[in-house]
Each structure stands twice: as structure tokens, then as C-alpha cells.
Amino acid sequence: MDKYEFLSNASIALLIVALLLRFLRSSFSPPADADTLDEYLQRHPDCRRHGRICCYRCGSASIYLYRLGYGPGWIQHLHMCRQCGAKLYRSTIEV
């Protein structure tokens, strides 16, 4: 076995691992306990202020998106509070 044959086998193995990780990440679904935006606002009607969504725990309007997964034509996010880290709601964006 020469050194170039080893590099070829290692490259193939790395490609397979990368594709497997991408598949697993894209098939990940949002946590079952995460509400949609409509459900979140039904539970916490006071969390919509001046057209912005706020955290039910600390009241902050600073929210970031954590990407849960993606697939052909969609991306799933979990919306979380930047200040206290509370999980607020999930969303699916069609692209």
C-alpha cells in the first residue's frame, strides 16, 4: 500500500462521516416541549410589547435564533432569550 492510497481511503472515510453528520443534523426535530409562536403568545399574552416579542421570564426583547435543523426548503429555529437563556418558542422557515 503506498501513501497515496491511504490518503484516498482517509478522504472517503471523512466524506462519509461528514455526510452522516449532515443527515443527522437535518433530521433533528424541535424539542416536543417548545411552543410555536402562536402557542407562546397564548400562554404569555403580555410578552408582545410594541410589536416585539419579549421573554416571559425576564422581559428582555433580545432574542436569538438557535438553528435546530434544516432540509430541502426549510430551516428550524429555537428562539431563546439572550439575557436569561430561556427557551421561548420554535419556528420553521420555508426557503
33-85 pLDDT, tens per residue?
Answer: 678 999 999 999 999 999 999 999 999 999 999 988 888 888 889 999 999 99
Q: What is the pLDDT of residue 69?
A: 81
Of 36, 78, 85, the residue nearest 57 (C-alpha): 85
pTM above 0.85, yes or no: no
Residue 15 pLDDT grade (very low, low, confident, very high; cuts 50, 70, 90): confident
Q: What is the pLDDT of residue 1?
A: 52
- Spell out the domain ranges in the chain: 29-94
Q: What is the pLDDT of residue 68?
A: 82
Q: Is 52 exposed, middle or buried (0-12, 13-18, 19+ CB in 10 A)?
A: exposed
Residue 89 has pLDDT above 80, yes or no: yes
CA distance 60 to 56: 8
User: Grid coordinates in use for 44?
Assistant: 404569555
SS3 15: helix
